[in-house]
Structure 1
Amino acid sequence: MFAIHNWTLTENDGESKVSVEESLEGIFAKLLKNMLNKNLEKGMQNWLYLLKHECEK
């Protein structure tokens, strides 16, 4: 499986915005598509929480 994760951080009026794009390719991505999609939002929320935590140290 081949995965690409693009994180874009931008600043607007003193606030930060994080945009995430993800792309998965390969046989496992096709076979596990439903499972991966179910967990995608939960995983992104976890990564955003960790990013916020590190930024606020």
Structure 2
Amino acid sequence: MGWEEVQQYNYDAYSFQRDFVRCVSQCSWLISAEGIYGLNGNTGFWEFAYNWSS
């Protein structure tokens, strides 16, 4: 089947060390073709958090 040929990735959705400053009251993520962005609750800006190729 087609899913057997799809590359797989693992990513911890929440890491205290990485996210506690950024996630004021909740964590929001945006998944895109190039990787993952996290919304910074302090600034209101999306920050690039993870590149699929890394």
Greater Cα radius of gyration, structure 1 or 2: 1
Q: Do both share a fold (TM > 0.5)?
A: no
Q: Which has the higher contact order (CA 8 A, sep 6+)?
A: 1
> In proportion to residue count, which structure has more helix?
1
